[in-house]
Amino acid sequence: MQEVTIRKAVEKDLEALYEIERLSFKDPYPPGFMRALYDLNSQIFLVAENDGRPVGYVIAAQDRGSGHIFSIAVHPSERGKRIGTRLMTEALKILKNHSVTTVRLEVRKSNNTAQRFYNALGFKYSHTIDGYYNDEDGLVYYKSLQ
């Protein structure tokens, strides 16, 4: 088995990345929205690749010193291999290199696995947004990069 590599996403990845998105989330982003995120954030749209196929991704953006993690997902068959940690670590490094000092993300209130993952990476719970998701509240987490 080949080592997982982290690289910038390219346009031909989008179909496979949408499939990972669809398998990972209750309310996946529509393909058109993922395309728009790619078009706007290709510098911080990273792919984890194994044996030439995408197995995970992270999408982040930055604006005036603040960063936002839009989405991170790993194919269900590849979870538990620290791929998500590698993706997030690389995205945070890029954000810091772009002078970002604080990063924000949102997570479903019921997604305890993701909350533990974010806590392990140094993110801290900030507040709850009622009804952030169609059927559930969202928790907002922040991490300082200073």
Q: Which homologous superfamily does the CATH classification assign to the domain defined by 5-144? A: Gcn5-related N-acetyltransferase (GNAT) (3.40.630.30)
What local confidence, expressed as pLDDT, does residue 63 receive? 85
Instruction: For 108-142, write each residue's pLDDT tens digit.
Output: 999 999 999 999 999 999 999 999 998 999 999 99
What local confidence, expressed as pLDDT, does residue 122 receive? 97
Cβ density class 80-104: b for 16+ within 10 Å, e for less: eeebbebbbebbbebbeeeebeebe
Instruction: For 25-80, write each residue's pLDDT tens digit.
Output: 988 999 999 999 999 876 799 999 999 999 999 999 998 889 999 999 999 999 99
Per DSSP bridges, beta strands 66-74 and 102-108 are parallel
Domain positions in the chain are 5-144
Q: What's the rounded mean pLDDT across residues 5-33?
A: 94
What local confidence, expressed as pLDDT, does residue 80 receive? 92
pTM for this prediction = 0.93
- Confidence class of residue 2 from pLDDT cuts 50, 70 and 90? low
